[in-house]
Amino acid sequence: MSKIKLKFKKRTNESYIIYCEPNIVNSIPKYLHKHKFGKRYCVITDNKIQKIHGNNLQKLLKQNNISAEIISVAPGEDAKSLENIKKICEKLIKLGFNRNDCIIALGGGVIGDLAGFVAAIFMRGLAYIQIPTSLLAMVDSSVGGKTGINLEELKNILGAFKQPKAVFIDSLFLDTMPKAEIQNGLAECIKYGASLDKRFFKYLEKNIPLIYKPEKDSEYNYNQKVLNKIIEISIRLKSRVVQIDNKETGLRRVLNYGHTFGHAIEAASKHKIPHGHAISIGMCLINEKLVRDKILKNKDAQRIKQLLDNTGLPTSLPDNIKKSDLLTLMKSDKKNKNRGQINFVKIKKIGDFILE
């Protein structure tokens, strides 16, 4: 089992461990008894994940004498709404939850954002842990403490920094995910390689094709060895950045490479384009700009585009979205330093970034 400690020097009480191991979900009751994150637990998930994993987790906890309730919402980006926040908080009040209790976020990035935001504001904050079930959530949103909900077309415009008490990464969850969901998560892994680590980028070029087993009827049967290494390296790269800048005031902004365009693309599509797909296109668009500005060599931009292509990710805008459509949305991006001034994370070569 891999244990990755995310340690904050100035806020040691917010430090936590990320546990990575296939089938670790069955060991979670042991960790909850040992660390006593809460007297009672409430699993927040979506209706789809509840049927696949949520009911089993609740049963497992109760079998181990752990009090566990479950609250589910409709799946999809639209779940990240003020209306759902209100409904979940009302249910927690009705169930008698208080600051001595703990929330479990079980699901993808949407659920992590939603549950984490509830944990940040309910009774001015209570503990929560992350159990991500998608590759995208495993390598990105479950690590680092950023939570958020959407307001109209603006993605994550309302949010808080709330570090979990622990993160449990069980790659066997991915065997219930279609190939498209794996590809969606790999966009963030490619982002890490392109902006932070050229050796990891080379590893991805060589090994992404090995994730998918060639046998018939094996769409949901992935190469766990390769997936686990990609997950672990991605988490280590993100953790190194977050440990230095946990509130996104400086270095952490590098994690937004491709995201200024990407978030605008998601909004322009009314969230019909998945996050990973939007970030893939976003990386290509910013790279085109960097090549024009003679900051990035075209051969590096093409190499990144080729890896995204080989992964099965889109690399250009769909016909119904124009670059001009994105300008207003990008000016409203919460990461901009000055009103109306668009800030981009740039790379000058693979594995080497520039912050404005």
Provide block-wise average pLDDT over 10 residues at a time, the chain (356 residues).
Answer: 85 87 95 95 97 97 97 94 96 97 97 97 96 97 92 84 96 92 96 98 97 64 92 96 86 92 91 94 97 97 98 95 86 66 90 86
Q: What pLDDT sits at residue 8? A: 85
The residue with tokens 């296939």 is 22
Rounded Cα–Cα distance for residues 344 and 68 (Å): 43
Pairing of strands 102-107, 68-73: unpaired
Q: What pLDDT sits at residue 248? A: 80
The two three-digit tokens of residue 80, written as one number: 């990240």
Model pLDDT for residues 17-32, shown as the tens digit of each residue: 999 999 999 999 999 9
Residue 44 in contact with residue 88, Cβ under 8 Å? Answer: yes
The residue with tokens 């902004």 is 253
Q: What pLDDT sits at residue 322? A: 86
Query: What is this structure's pTM?
Result: 0.91
Cite the active site residues.
124, 146, 188, 238, 248, 252, 256, 259, 263, 275
Rounded Cα–Cα distance for residues 35 and 152 (Å): 39
Model pLDDT for residues 49-88, shown as the tens digit of each residue: 999 999 999 999 999 999 999 999 999 989 999 999 999 9
Q: What is the mean pLDDT of the chain?
A: 92
Q: What pLDDT sits at residue 18? A: 96
Q: Which domains does the chain have, with CATH numbers?
A: 2-176 (3.40.50.1970), 179-355 (1.20.1090.10)
